[in-house]
Amino acid sequence: MNSIIYQRVKYGRITCNLKEVMKEKHISTYKLANITNIKYEIVKKYRDNLILRYDANILAKLCFCLDCELSSLLKYEK
């Protein structure tokens, strides 16, 4: 019988700092949803760091409208 050993590796996680960027730029969730044409519920999920799979188009819109780099929105945590 072949025994396979599975090793759990902690890769870290990606977090979204949209809330901090919005605070820095003095923009509300409602206003950001309107100017990006992204549904309010989606912006709220990004703001509250509840997104599991990030959408490249949404991230591009957020960066463009907030005049920031992607590295300002997403952070890697070990």
Q: Which pLDDT band holds residue 38 (cuts at 50, 70, 90)?
A: very high
Instruction: Determine the Cα–Cα distance for residues 17 and 46; give it in Å rounded to an integer.
Output: 8
pLDDT tens digit sequence for 6-15 = 667 788 889 9
Query: Residue 46 burial (CB < 10 Å; 0-12/13-18/19+)?
Result: buried
Q: For the chain, what are the domain ranges?
A: 18-77
pLDDT of residue 33: 98
Task: Kindly tell me if the per-residue pLDDT of 1 is higher than 60.
Answer: no
Name the band, by pLDDT with cuts 50, 70 and 90, for residue 27.
Answer: very high
Number of H helices, E strands in the chain: 5, 2
CATH match for 18-77 among 3.40.50.11710, 1.10.260.40, 3.90.1150.10, 3.40.190.10: 1.10.260.40
pLDDT digits (tens, 9 = 90+) for 48-71: 999 989 999 999 999 999 999 999
Q: What is the pTM of this model?
A: 0.83
